[in-house]
Every structure is written in C-alpha cells, then in structure tokens.
Chain A
Amino acid sequence: MEAAHGHAHGHDEHAHHPSGMMRWITTTNHKDIGTMYLWFSFTMFMVGGIMAFVIRAELFQPGLQVVNPDFFNQMTTLHGLIMVFGAIMPAFVGFANWQIPMMIGAPDMAFPRLNNWSFWLLPPAALLLVVSLFVPGGGASAGWTLYAPLSVQLGMGMDLTIFAVHILGMSSILGSINIITTILNMRAPGMTMMKLPLFVWTWLITAYLLVAVMPVLAGAVTMILTDRHFGTHFFNAAGGGDPVLYQHIFWFFGHPEVYIIAIPAFGVVSQVIPAFSRKPLFGYTSMVYATASIAVLSFIVWAHHMYTVGMPVVGQLFFMYATTLIAVPTGVKVFNWVATMYKGSLTFETPMLFACGFLFLFTMGGFTGLVLSITPVDVQLHDTYYVVAHFHYVMVAGALFSAFSGIYFWLPKWTGRMYNETLGKTHFWLSFVFFNVTFFPQHFLGMAGMPRRIPDYALQFADFNMLSSIGAFGFGLSQLVFLYVVVKTITSGEKAPQSPWEGADTLEWTQLPSPAPYHSFETPPVIK
C-alpha cells in the first residue's frame, strides 16, 4: 500500500525516516503499522487457506487418499489457530490502527512504539506455528482448542504452539492497551463518547475483552506446559487434577474470543450500512448498549461449549438460559441494521454487498447458534459438522465478509485510488456462492451424524462432503480475485476523490483528503 505515502503534503514529508525495509521495521506510524497488520493477516489467511485445501481434499471422498490421519489432525488444528489468531484478529487490529486515529480526530495512536512492538511480535509467533509442522512428531494435533490430556501427550510441536499462543496473546494485550488509551485520551475536542463512530465503540469494547481474557488463555496453555514438562497434574486425575478444568479455563477465554472477532465486524458493518443507505444508523444508542451487553454476557456463557462433559444439570440449565439471553442484544443489532436500510436510498457497491452478505449469513449463523444453545439439542449436535457449519457462518460469512466490506470501503481513503467495481462485485458473488456451497451442506452432515475432526467418514456422508469440498476449492480460489483487485488498485487504480461515498459522514471522509496524510490530524478538527 505504497500509495498511502509519498505524496507531498507540506510538512507531512517524512523523508527523515529510514527507507526500504528499515522503514517498516522501525515505523511508529499507525498507518504503516495498520498496513503491515493487514498484509500479515492476508498472508496468514492464505496459509490457513492452504491447510483448509488439504482438509477438504482428504474429505473429498471416503477413504484415506491424501494425508494420514495424524497429519490431518495437524491441519485442522493449525487451520483453526492460524485463521483465528493469525488472520481474523490481526485484520481487525489493522482496521483499528488505520481508522481509530482518523475517526476520532487524533494524529496517531497513543503509544506509537508499543504499536510497532505489538505488530512485530506477530511474525515470530506465526513462524513458530508453521515451523512446528516440521519438527519431529509434527505440529500440534489436538484441535485448536488444545484439550488436555490429548495435548499433554503430543510431541514438541505442541510446545512451539504454546509459545506461539503466548506471544500472540502478548501482542493482543499490548495492542488493546494502546487502543483503549487512544480512544479514551486522544479524541478531538467535542468528540464525546456518544458521538464516537460505532466502529470505534466496538473496538473499545473488544479491547477490554482482550485485556480480560488473553491472560486466561496464557494461563491455560502454561498449565499444559507445566503438566507436560514440570510434573504438575492440573489436568491429570491420577495426580488430583481434572481434564475438564482445562475446558472451563479455555472456554472462559474462548467464548469472549468469539465476540472479540465478531464485535469489530459489527462495527465495520455499522459504518457501511448507513453510508450506503444514505440514512443515519437507526438506533446508535441502543447499538452501543447492545454491544456492551453482548460483551458482558460473553463472560457467563462459556460452558455451553461443554454441554456433554457431564456438568450437573443445574449448571447446564444456567448456561442454557444465559446463552439464549445473548440472542436478545444480537437480535437488537440485526433489527437496527435492517431498520437503517428500511426507507433509505440504497446503492450496492462492493462494500454494501459484503455488508448485506454479512447481515444475511451472520444471521443464519445466529439461528444455528440459537439451535445449539438449547442443551438437549446441542447434546445431539455437539462436535458434529453442524457446529462446524455454525461457526464458519459466524466467522467467515460474519467476520471475514465484514473485513472485506471494510477494505473495499476504506481502500480509497488508504490508497487514494478506487478499486475496480466490477471486479469487486465479482469477488463478492463468487465468495457468497462458494461459501454457501461449502458450508450449507455441513448442517445436514452434522444432523445426519457426522462427527467433526475425522479424516474419513461413512458412505452416507459422501455426496455432501464432495459438494462441500468443491465449494471450498472455489471459495479459496475466489480470494485470488481479491488479491488481484487490491494490487491493481494500489498500482493503477483511478484517483479517488476525498469521499467517493455519498452517505459517509465520519471524519476521515469529511476532513481528510484521499489518500489520508501520513499524520492524520496535526491540529484537531472541529466537531460539530
């Protein structure tokens, strides 16, 4: 995203900065760092995608054809870890870096050097994960949830994974501290909390969630590490421990983690839908409250991932009631988005297409989530492909589609150039169709009885698996269109006006030229 700099904006010159590689290694600029986060995220998206290809190739037909079961398990494990920690989370941190200072009228993030360090922690962690595949015994193969005692049994690939998780967690915590401080302290005069763009609100809430739960995950994997090497028995019944304890700790992190991924996605969509409806967000205040309620509720629902571990029935009832409650604020958000579109003046450029795709498919994931929240039904569906379908509707059609929406939306501001609309729309429709071909049949597979995380399956599951694999290959290849669109925009896109979007009303569109200057606001803007 070279175009983000290199334009003369008076004192905005930064010729005194190192050039070439050193510029990126030493940069403390929120835009440079945001750019690096986004490219890193896309690279990991490709790596995790290749792993998905391996998984779907093995599942194309019944029988073992491509890989052995152990390597298959390594693929499902690393696909999950890399997509969650390497692709989706950094993508939204990239958005936060680019957008938060511009949207609140600040020159940069509050802690620019910390910002640099938060990013540069990521590549070594990613390297550890990828290298773990090549050590004796291979990578971690206990699933991305790394359940003990299976994860205690594994080879040194598991140790590398534990360290990678530690480093990724550190990066997230530092990044979150930076985001919280920036939002609370660096708003332009007059930018009161209830005037913040919703994207900024969602990130404030997400950052608090991250600070609260990443240490919990670090604790959980450290306990595995000491069980593995230092003779502790946290998860070993023979030594007074309990394997289920790990699941409680993991999901106390894991459930808020779901919202850490989803909430910034809500934020992006809440900017895009009003802009292309040419109508203010229907219920700004209730959206803020709904997001905060989701965040608070996310701390008391973790054991709905564990309905089959044999909790006391009272515990199951509590977690069922608490979980279904989440449907209320989530419903409020969906109703608000739809009410924003109602009686608007809608146009469907690529960002809006992805936002509508998000709204439709995320709600589908919400419905299956409601089904899964009902304990007796979940007992039947737990650890089947129904769950795989459910969380891909939320994570891919939810978070990823929202990220695409945001990139098409802000690319003109970031690069100063417009993307090709036809190509963008092609990317959307290919992604939308192939996504559904891949994941919709998985609901049926799960209901009919196919467990997840198996490399081979009974014959009655054959046709839907083949369909799902075809969809997955199509979905993966469609993302090359996205890469092409972005590279083409950066290198040869048409010059973008200050605001190519009629209905966009946040500061980066109303106050800053395209591309945005290196230091966004050196004097604070006037907020009306």
Chain B
Amino acid sequence: MIGRWTNSLAAGVMTGLWSIAAAAQSKVDFQTPQSPVARDVYDLHLIILGICVVIFVGVFGVMLYSIINHRKSVGHKAAHFHENTTVEIIWTIIPLFVLVLMMIPATKTLLTMRDASSPDMTIKVTGYQWKWGYEYLQGEGEGIRFYSTLITPRDQIEGRAAKGQNYLLEVDNPVVVPVGRKVRVLTTAQDVIHSWWVPALGVKQDANPGFIRDAWFKADSPGIYRGQCTELCGKDHGFMPIVVHAVTPEKYAAWVADQKKMMVATAVDPNKQWTLDELKARGAKVYSANCVACHQASGKGIPPTFPALSGSQVVNGPKAEQINVLLNGVAKDGKPTAMVSFKQLSDADLAAVITYTRNSWDNKTGEAVMPADVKAQRK
C-alpha cells in the first residue's frame, strides 16, 4: 500500500515539476534554453533528476515504511540480521551500472560543448574590475571593439529610485551577434579572474588574467540574453552583467555597418589641440565609466584600498607621473595593486580623464593634458 502511495506521490511530484518547467521563464528551472548546447544541458539535467527521483523514492520509501511500521511504539520487535555480502554487492554494482549509463549522454554533451573549432566568428572577451571589454577578432564585424558597463543608476541600487525591469542586468553596449552562427568566445582578463556566463545560451567560461580560454555558442532565435560575472572578482562582482543581443543576419550586417561608421566618426586627430573645457567634459564621461566604482564620484575614494584623488599628491604633481600611473598601473613592493593599467583606453580618453581629475574637487591645477602627451609616454 505504501509502495503504491509513494509511486503516485512521485508521479504527482514529477508532473508538477514538469508543468512548472513548461511555463515560460520559470523561476524554479533553468532559463529557457536558446542554443543547442543549452538544450542538451537542459535534457541531461532532466535525465539525472529523473534518476535521482527514482532513487529517492526507493530509499526513502523503505525508510518511511520502517519509520511507520517498525516502531517500538507499535510493538515491533527488532530482527537481528546483519552482514550480507550478496546484498552489499548488489547495491554496489547496480548504482555503478546506472552511473556508466549516465556517462554516455554526459560525455557526448561535454564533447560538443568544448568543441569550439571552425567558428563563423570570434569575439575576444576581456574581464576588467568591473566591466567587460569586447573585441570582434574574426568574421563579419572584425575590428569592432568596445566596453560594456552596467547602466543601472546608483539611485536604483541605493533605493532612492524605483528599480527598473532589467535592474542590474542592463549595459551601455551589449554584444551583438547574428543568430544561427557559431560564435567562438575567447576569454581573458586584465586583473583578476572573472567568468563570462550567459545562462540561456549555455556558455560559462572563466576569464583568467594572462591566459586565453575558449567557449562557443550559437543562438537559436533573436532575443536579448542576460547573464552575469560568476567568479568573485572583488567589490563590484555583482555589478558587471553581460547582455547579448542575438539578431537576424541582416540586422547584424546593418549593426556592423553602423559601428564602422561610428568608429570613423569618433576617430580623433592625434595632433588636435583641445581646450580645457572640451577635455573636462569628455573626461567626466570617461571617469564615470571607468574610475567611479573605486575612486567615487566625490573623488574621495575608499581608503586605504582605493585612495582619494581629491587632494592627491600624484594628481596635483607633475603630469608625466600621473600619465605613467594610468598607463602602467601601480605596483607596491613589487606586487600589483587594485590600480591596474588603463592603457586599453585611447590617448584622447586618457588625456581627458587626467585633465578632468586635475581640475575637479579640491584639485585646481588649471592644466590641460593633451592626447599627444599620453601618446609620447606610451611604450
């Protein structure tokens, strides 16, 4: 009787789980898979879950049966059997057999997941504390590069404004990819280990500083897929999301054309003489995208790890020294500090942000640093 009851309970639980799973973007299941690998992983998980449920019912069926029927309070006398080699061998061999069966689909999926060969396009992803950099290395869109930073306003995070629908999962520049194309992702990092994860696309790959790793995905259908950094990378680990826009090949081609046009338009004449105000305006933007997380909008930083810029000796000292800090980072006693190199920024951006810091808060040097100054100091 108990057996029948547990069976129907198990059936009920399974039906329940599957009907919940069927609902769109369920809260108790994986995100709806949007790539072949994500689908394989989803199915693989269902198989394992099924096996676990069967074992669960078996083991806890017996346990529950004993708890109900073999209690002292219902007058059950203890039997005294123990040590039975046959039984021990049976319950060693059967699980082993089940595991071997499970390894077959698992191995297949893993081999597919790790086969990043012959991609249609390659994107290099670089993790920074705390944003992502993207560089389209090969395939349509080659040469496009940009940074992708969280755009959720501080007011929403600190509870001074209502939180938007994509709270913490929205960025200024999403990665754009065409659907149905095999996209290889090369991951690396500038400072510490990060991890690039887009759940719906079934891709998660650590980004290790100094090394390059690969992963791949192929988006099934157009859509916006959101993920987050999944390797603890310091203070703002929770604030460096990933957004992938999968679009039709036609729209992708149009996006690539737009990006190329923009790159030409924003290219700066290296010898242009900028005014102090132009530099400060541009620098303010660069500062809020790159510096504000540590050094704060007030320029007061979070000492001792993130020093204040306002009143800083370096910022108010000779400009060559400050350019050196931004290009090469700061090392203390031979070890790198949280102030890493920002040489990935353009000469104009570096000149602008240096000018901005030298003329903001308590700093009043009145000095403008030109892109040419930065260029001269690059090695």
Which A residues lie at the B interface, using CB under 8 A?
62-65, 68-70, 73, 136-137, 141-143, 147, 149-150, 152-155, 227-229, 231, 236-238, 242-244, 277-286, 308-310, 313, 316-317, 320-321, 324-325, 327-328, 331-332, 334-335, 338-348, 356, 359-360, 363, 367, 370-371, 374-377, 379-380, 382-384, 444, 447-449, 451-460, 463-464, 503
Contact = CB atoms under 8 A, between A and B. Distances in A.
Contacts of A238: 210
Contacts, number: 300
A363 B65 CA distance: 17
Interface residues of B, number: 106
Nearest to A286: B88
Contact of A382 (B67, B99, B204, B209): B204
A343 B62 contact: no
Contacts of A345: 70-72, 76-78
A70 B235 contact: yes
Nearest to B62: A338
A456 B192 contact: no
B238 A310 contact: no
B27 to A, nearest CB: 6
Contacts of A340: 82
B44 to A, nearest CB: 6
> Which 9 pairs, one residue from A and one from B, show the smallest C-beta to C-beta distance?
A237-B210, A454-B238, A310-B213, A345-B78, A343-B79, A383-B230, A367-B52, A444-B28, A278-B78
Given A149-B191, A237-B210, A377-B45, A342 B62 contact: yes
Given A63-B158, A324-B99, A384-B230, A332 B91 contact: yes
B70 A458 contact: no
B70 A376 contact: no
B19 interface: no
B233 A371 contact: no
A344 B355 CA distance: 81
B63 A448 contact: no
B193 interface: yes
A69 B232 CA distance: 12
B55 interface: yes
18 contacts: A147-B231, A150-B192, A153-B338, A243-B192, A243-B209, A282-B82, A284-B83, A327-B99, A328-B92, A339-B87, A374-B44, A377-B45, A380-B41, A380-B45, A444-B27, A449-B227, A449-B228, A459-B167
A350 to B, nearest CB: 16
A528 B84 CA distance: 23
Contact of B67 (A141, A278, A346): A346
Contact of A344 (B30, B70, B236): B70
A283 B27 contact: no
B227 to A, nearest CB: 7
Interface stretch (B140-148, B254-262, B328-336): B328-336
Interface string B198-210: 0100101110111
Contact of A347 (B72, B79, B211, B228): B72
A73 B195 contact: no
A368 to B, nearest CB: 8
B167 A62 contact: yes
B23 to A, nearest CB: 12
B132 to A, nearest CB: 14
B305 A155 contact: yes
B81 interface: yes
Given A243-B193, A285-B83, A344 B304 contact: no
Given A227-B335, A331-B91, A458-B168, A379 B55 contact: no
